[in-house]
């Protein structure tokens, strides 16, 4: 079992170019320090808006039924700038490289069958 002290996640925030705090995406990359035979993980976390007030929910439903569009459409979105795109690409390349190294190591140890 891995102790929390051995879990050192890298956290990257991608802010929307519109500067709305509701449109932030969080990437969490984790590779355990204590045991290199654990597969790296990459999580994508998106903050979903919740409307707890029943009247607010009814109002949104009525607007949806009537075809009224809100500023962001019916889906949340994040406008990614070139700096954020570069940050995401670097993180994805790191994840891909370390996952490939993990798979080679596991295959060498004989715990992962070869995929054709």
Quickly list DSSP for 41-95.
EEEEEEPPP----HHHHHHHHHHHHTT---TTTTS---PPPHHHHHHHHHHHHHH
Q: Could you give the CA distance from residue 74 to residue 68 in angstroms, rounded to a whole number?
A: 10
Residue 22 pLDDT greater than 70, yes or no: yes
Q: How many domains does the chain have?
A: 1
Residue 100 pLDDT greater than 60, yes or no: yes
The per-residue pLDDT for 91 is 92
The per-residue pLDDT for 59 is 84
Domain for residue 24, yes or no? yes
Question: What's the whole-model pTM score?
Answer: 0.62
Domain that holds residue 29: 4-109
With beta carbons less than 8 A apart as the criterion, state whether 102 and 40 touch. Answer: yes
Counted residue by residue, the chain has a size of 116
Domain for residue 115, yes or no? no
Residue 113 pLDDT greater than 80, yes or no: no
Q: Could you give the CA distance from residue 7 to residue 1 in angstroms, rounded to a whole number?
A: 11
pLDDT tens digits for range 29-88: 887 655 556 778 888 888 766 666 888 888 878 888 988 776 655 556 788 889 889 999
Domain for residue 19, yes or no? yes
């Amino acid at each position: 079992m891995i102790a929390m002290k051995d879990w050192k996640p890298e956290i990257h925030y991608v802010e929307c170019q519109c500067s709305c705090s509701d449109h932030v995406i969080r990437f969490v990359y984790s590779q355990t320090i204590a045991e290199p035979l654990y597969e790296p993980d990459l999580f994508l976390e998106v903050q979903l808006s919740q409307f707890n007030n029943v009247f607010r929910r009814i109002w949104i439903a009525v607007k949806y039924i009537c075809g009224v569009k809100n500023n962001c459409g019916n889906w949340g979105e994040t406008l990614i700038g070139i700096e954020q795109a570069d940050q995401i690409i670097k993180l994805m390349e790191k994840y891909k490289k370390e996952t490939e190294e993990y798979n080679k190591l596991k295959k060498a140890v004989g715990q992962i069958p070869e995929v054709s």
